[in-house]
Structure formats: C-alpha cells, structure tokens
Chains A and B, each alone.
Chain A
Amino acid sequence: MIQFKDVDLVYPNGTVGLKNVNLTINDGEFVVVVGLSGAGKSTLIRSINRLVTPTSGELLVDNEDILKYRGSDLRKLRTKTGMIFQNYNLVKRSSVIKNVLAGRLGHTGTLRSIFNAYKKEDVGLAYESLKRVNIAEKIYNRADELSGGQQQRVSIARVLTQQPKYILADEPVASLDPPTSHQVMTYLRKINKEDNLTTIVNLHFIDMAMEYADRIIGMRAGEVVFDGPVSEVTEKTFEEIYGRSIREDDLRGGADQS
C-alpha cells in the first residue's frame, strides 16, 4: 500500500512539483495518472521510488515512511518498485538478455554482478519474463536492433525479472505508435492481473486511460484534482482536469487495431 500524506515538493528552482497531495493506493490496483505535461505526474511517480524527494509531508510504502531513507534502505525500496520509462532506457549495445538481467542487480551481490555471474534461477527468471512479453526469440540480439515497441517489451521483462511489488510506468507509450501503444498497455494490464502487481501509469491520452485503468487520478499544477474509479469518469471530468476542452491530440486512437 502506498500512502501520500500532505506531500509537497518544491524544486530547488522554486517550481512546485507537488502540492498537498493526499492519496492511498491499494495493493493490486491499476491506477492511471492523467494531466497535461508539467502537471506533476512524473514528480508523483518518481517520489514513490525517491528519484525525487518531496520536501514535506509523509510518504508511506508498506507503512514505512520512505522520505528518510538513504543508502541501502533506499536501494531496498527501489528493488520493490520497478520502473518503466518513456525512452525504454536499455543499454543499447548490450544484448537483450543482459538488459533483462540488469533488473536483477538489486538482488545480486556486487562481486557476483561484476563478473556477470548471475544465479542460475535468475537467468531462468529472465528468460521466463521475456517469454511472457513474447520476445524470447530476440534474446541474443543487441537492444538497438529492436523496434521501439520491442524495446519497451524488453524493459517490461526487465521489470518483471526484478520481481517488484509495484510497477511505476512514466509515459510508457508516448514514443510509440497507436497499435504498439495498445500492445504495451495490454501487457501491463495482464501482468497487473496475473501477478497482482500494483501498477501506476502516467498517460496523457484520455481514451487509453479510460480503456485500461481501474482508477483515474487527475493532476493539475501539482495538485490532485480528481480521484475516482473509471466508471465515474466522463469527458466532462477530463475537461475539468485539463482546464480546457478536449482536443484530437488528447486521444491515442487505434484501439480496434490492437
């Protein structure tokens, strides 16, 4: 369970990232965070694994305040929160399997990892993860030989290999075309259901949020301005979150092609 209690975050240059955020995210939920760019979606997600640090309030992950974490506490927190990025962030010159095994680094001793001596069951787990996102045949290809959608699937496999409790996805489909976007979201949704992994996804496409989310959180200027199950959400809700009327480019489209 993740709880935000009166969380504020002000960046050193004075920009307000988060303003008085109060949220509870329960285990197993599939939450989509929507909002315009600069609304604080990334900041919200990155606070949970402390890539950024809120300046006040309390942030509880599994009932422990993570804002005081440093060093090994922080690394332990990060091993249980897997992250997926907009630009996949794979080591382009390394093979797919090496990239996927990197998800295991947090669970592997330093000396072992220097010599690439991953445990046998870790290698098995990595291969299993690749199979789950249907890309096992690319195991020995270099990461930069794959298409964007394939690279994002490899990065999902990397997160699966990490065996986290939470998945944080920061605009995972923003660099992909509509059919591939739906494929990636479908995998995330499937993993959420099969492994009961709490998943928080940042999106700015309204139609995709509606299609995949259990619950939608709307943000504007660092504040949570909407929080509710997807059944309560209408076009009017989005207009309120975005503070303007809905436009063509707020939609990803292509749902029928997936």
Chain B
Amino acid sequence: MEKEFTLPPKPKNSTFKLIRNIVITVLVIALYVWTFTSIDIDWGRAIERAANNFQRVIPQLFSPDWSATGKVALSMLETVFIAFAGSLMAAILAVPLAFLAARNMMGGVIISTIGKWILSAVRAFPDIILAILFVVAVGPNAFAGVLAIAIGSTGMLGKMFAEILEGIDMNVVEAMEASGANKIQILFHGVLPQITPEFLSYAIYRFEVDIRASSILGIVGAGGIGTLIIFASNNRNWSEMGTILLAIILVVTVIDFASARIRRKIV
C-alpha cells in the first residue's frame, strides 16, 4: 500500500521575479525581431537564386572530379601539417603564459591578472584576421598559416592550461614543501604529474579544431586546401569543389575519431 504524504509547499516566486522574467522574455523577442527586420533580406530573390543554382551546383558537388585527387590530397596534407605545426607551437607557447596567469603558481594577484590580460588580448583576434596579418608579414605561404594557427590557439590553450593549473591539488604541493623540496622539485614532482595528461588532452583537442581552421586559411593566401577552394569557386568548378569537400570531411572525421580515442586513453 502506498503511503500518503504531503510535500512542504513550494516557496512562492515573488512578483519581482515574475515581472523580471516577463521583461527579459519580451526584450529578447524584441531584439530578435528587430535584428531580423533590419538586415534587409530580399527573400524573393534569395529563394529564386537558390532554386536556379541548386540544379547546377549540387549535382556536380556529388560527382567529384577524381582526376584532381592527387592535387587535393597533397594540399590536404599541407593543411594537416599547418595545423600540426601551429598547434604544437601553441601548446609550447601556452605553458609559460598559463603559469603566469594561474593564480596559485607565481603568487600574487597582479601577475596572474597581467597573464590573464595577455591571454585575452591574444584570444581577441579571429584566426582569419591573424592569417591576413601574417600573409602581409611573411608572404603568402604555409608559414603564414602556421603562425596564424599558433597565435590563435595560444590564447585558448593558455586559458585552458591556466584553469587546469588552478584546479590542481595544492595539498600535494604543501606536502612537498613540508618535506624540504625546493620550487623546481615541486614543479617537476608535484605539479607536472597532475597536469600533463590534461594539457596533452587539450592540445590534441585544439589540433582537431585547428584542422578545421586551417582548411579555410588558404582563402586569404596562407597555404593549405583553402587555396584550392578559392580557385574552384572562382572557376565555378563544382566537381573539383566536391573532391575538396570530400577530402576535408574524410580527414576531419578520421582525426576527430583518433583524437577522441587518444584522449580517452591519457586522462
């Protein structure tokens, strides 16, 4: 037999909260309507164009140009190399910045705030803007892409690494201090074993993201498969575009899969 019971009455939402929620909802809807009406979309024309081009472009995308395979594969390989070199460079650059930014490492809120500012400043640049800057600085080649990826990833990795550092078990550090170990010994025996797997995991994840990022860097001339994308699009060569997309999908999927497996192993 079920037992009868009564829950204590729920606390009543105050009228203030109710009004606040209504106001927020109305504001969000208003903002949405306002933005949509003000970007001035010519729906009729957009739909017409899409209908026309659909017939021409989509079937060609699905019949890839196999003769371009060699060219596309090479260029995809270059993209992977750009991503790898860039994320490796970022993973190395991010470590000292993370130690600077982590509140429990260098001691002092001032240093950590400066470190956090540096990381936010670095993060503020989108990859594509960095690529444009580096194309101007070092010329239109893969090296510009590597630098763009490296700087772009340093900001995010540095922030992640700093958060990992702030989350370590400081009791271990205290125990080593209490046994007379010096700072460098504590770093190598108390801090590094706690952070290495997470650092690697995030670096690999970032490599995964960088593959996608470096696919488009070629559009501004920074090397990799993006160069082919821009050529194919300018020449209306949609079947070559199909091959390129296929290559990107394949490589991204394989690397996502591999990265997920590796990361599960190390953490």
Contact = CB atoms under 8 A, between A and B. Distances in A.
A85 B176 contact: no
Interface stretch (B16-24, B187-195, B235-243): B187-195
A81 B182 CA distance: 15
A150 interface: no
Among all A-B residue pairs, the 4 with the closest Cβ atoms: A106-B180, A79-B180, A78-B180, A89-B175
Interface residues of B, number: 20
B172 interface: yes
B178 interface: yes
Q: Is the interface of B mostly helix, strand, loop or mixed?
A: helix
B184 A110 contact: yes
A89 B180 contact: no
A93 B197 contact: yes
B175 A85 contact: yes
Contact of A93 (B175, B178, B188, B193): B193
B193 A103 contact: no
A83 B181 CA distance: 13
Interface of B: 169, 171-172, 174-182, 184-185, 188-190, 193-194, 197
A105 B172 contact: no
Interface in A74-95: 75-79, 81-83, 85, 87, 89-94
B179 to A, nearest CB: 5
A90 B179 contact: no
Contacts of A92: 169, 194
B185 A91 contact: no
Given A106-B180, A114-B184, A89 B189 contact: no
A49 B181 CA distance: 13
Given A93-B197, A114-B188, A51 B174 contact: yes
A108 B185 CA distance: 9
A83 B193 contact: no
Contacts of A22: none
A183 interface: no
A66 to B, nearest CB: 13
B184 A78 contact: no
Contacts of B181: 75, 102, 105-106, 113
Contact of A82 (B169, B179, B188): B179
Contacts of B182: 75, 105, 110
Interface string A102-133: 11011110100110000000000000000000
6 contacts: A49-B178, A76-B180, A87-B171, A102-B179, A106-B180, A110-B185
Given A91-B190, A105-B185, A79 B179 contact: yes
